[in-house]
Amino acid sequence: MTRPPRSTSRQDRRRESEKLILQAAEKVFAEAGFGGATMQLIADVAGLPKANLHYYFPTKEALYRQVVENIFQNWLKAADIFDAAPGPVEGIGAYIDAKMEISRRHPDGSKVWASEVMHGAPVIQDYLETTLVDWTQGRMEVIRRWIEEGRMDPVDPRHLLYMLWATTQHYADFSHQIETLNGGDPLSEQQWSAAKASVKAIILKGIGARPSNEG
């Protein structure tokens, strides 16, 4: 009797375990890099025996690949805002807000992504060549349209995108440096707001963005 309380089904447990491992892996990969991370440390962070990791993910590379792919999906999601907007003030402004929020909430993911690209994108080169190229061209088209409509200055869309990526992701990738320059403390709520406002103000003014409903 005392039927053991089957709190979770097998499928649920599998999903939970995989999620647990992926979260631990993201943290460890972010802190130590792919080469510096060890399966043992990831296992310890996840609170599971090392052999269990290899049951769900056959190799360290497979686990790493899954982490990077998840991050990439998240990365793309922030882009939807771009299209739905009538003009650069709303579109780029919201995009900056969204990416700054990602930098704040998921700095580990941003770091893993940066590390992957910095080392030549050994595992997601195909994504860069297909999905990212398509995405980039789509947004460049949007920017060109805004320029044609006179909603902003004729800046090079490509370098504008690079500037947006660089500036927003900097707050995640270099969070340690920023903390050190902030007296060792993480940015406060107000400081994050100021950061977002500064970035938006400089870039939007820099590209001569004009509000949609002209007065």
Partner DNA sequence: CCACAATCTGACCAACCGGTCAAGAATTTT
Partner DNA sequence: AAAATTCTTGACCGGTTGGTCAGATTGTGG
Q: Which is nearer to DNA, 7 or 213 (CB)?
A: 7
Nearest to 96 by CA among 171, 175, 187: 171
40: CB partners within 8 A, 6+ apart:
50
Q: Cα–Cα distance between 211 and 215 in angstroms, integer?
A: 9
| # binding residues, a second copy (CB under 8 A) | 55
Find which of DNA, a second copy, none residue 121 binds, CB within 5 to 8 Å per kind.
a second copy
CB 17 within 8 A of CB 48: yes
- Please give the angle made by the CA atoms of 43, 107 and 100, to the nearest 5 degrees: 160
DSSP code of residue 121: -
- Give min distance, CB of 148 to DNA, in A: 51
CB 198 within 8 A of CB 133: no
| # binding residues, DNA (CB under 7 A) | 23
Binding mask 151-190 for a second copy (x = CB under 8 A): --x-xx-xxx-xx-xxx-xxx-xx-xxx-xx---------
Phi, psi angles (nearest 5°) of residue 212: -65, -45
Find which of a second copy, DNA, none residue 52 binds, CB within 5 to 8 Å per kind.
DNA
Binding mask 25-64 for DNA (x = CB under 7 A): ------------xxxx-------xxxxx-xxx-xxxx---
User: Coil, helix or strand for 59?
Assistant: coil
Find which of a second copy, DNA, none residue 45 binds, CB within 5 to 8 Å per kind.
none
Asked if 119 interacts with DNA (CB under 7 A), we say: no
Asked if 103 interacts with a second copy (CB under 8 A), we say: no
Find which of DNA, a second copy, none residue 96 binds, CB within 5 to 8 Å per kind.
none
